[in-house]
Amino acid sequence: MTPPGDLTILLQQANEGDRTALDRLFPLVYDELHRMAHRQMQGEAGARTLGTTALVHEAYLKLAGGKDLPASSRAHFFGASARAMRQVLVDYARRRTSAKRWGELERVRLEDQEIAVDACAESLLDLDAALTRLAALSDRLSRVIECRYFGGLSVEETAEVMGSSPRTVKREWRKARAWLHQQLHGTESRGEDRPRG
């Protein structure tokens, strides 16, 4: 695990314009980002066309390509990484569902461990739309889902990112999942649009 102080210092240097700090940062966080991507993949089944390594690289490029890297702490960096992984997966799912509508797909194997985005592309897009609605109601609950589901962070890691206790994260995780379940598999009456709290 990367020492928190080293990571924070490199993030601050990168935000101050030191591009070599980014070069030193990636090797330090690579293993942790790879573990996050691997946890995201666990339980996925079906056709696999986006690899763990590709997800890590795409998410890192998204982070590094932004104007500012999240530099306040190690926890904030990995929270932002979870959001970047969500964006990469959703973008990939959009491209795949669009390609399926317009023609034949060519399967490209990127590595031995790959994410089953094809098999769940439409579900992933539905989840993203529901998360966007949830963020409008409670950005905090949406961030908990990003950290836990897309980032594969533990309750304790999510609590660190969110600046709260593990108990609070567990409660928010349950609340957010219940709200998402209602939105994605809901009842006939969608009268309850707000998460109960």
112-161 pLDDT per residue, tens: 334 444 556 677 788 888 989 999 999 999 999 988 887 778 899 899 88
Which is higher by pLDDT, 194 or 11? 11
- Nearest residue to 52 (alpha-carbon basis) of 74, 30, 70: 30
- Which residues, 6 or more positions from 140, have their beta carbon under 8 angstroms from its beta carbon? 162, 172
Beta bridge partners of 51: 114
Cα separation of 87 and 57, whole Å?
Answer: 13
Q: Please determine, for residue 194, whether its predicted confidence score (pLDDT) is greater than 70.
A: no
The angle at the Cα of 139, spanning 32 to 137, to the nearest 5 degrees, equals 150
71-104 pLDDT per residue, tens: 567 777 888 888 888 888 888 878 777 655 545 4
pLDDT at position 43, please? 47
Percent of all residues in the chain with a pLDDT value above 90, rounded to a whole number: 16
pLDDT at position 138, please? 94
Instruction: Mean pLDDT check: name the lowest of 95-99, 160-164, 168-172.
Output: 95-99
Arithmetic mean of pLDDT, 166-181: 94
Question: Which whole-number Å values give the CA distances from 126 to 21, 122, 123, 159, 180, in the listed order?
Answer: 37, 6, 5, 26, 10
pLDDT at position 101, please? 52
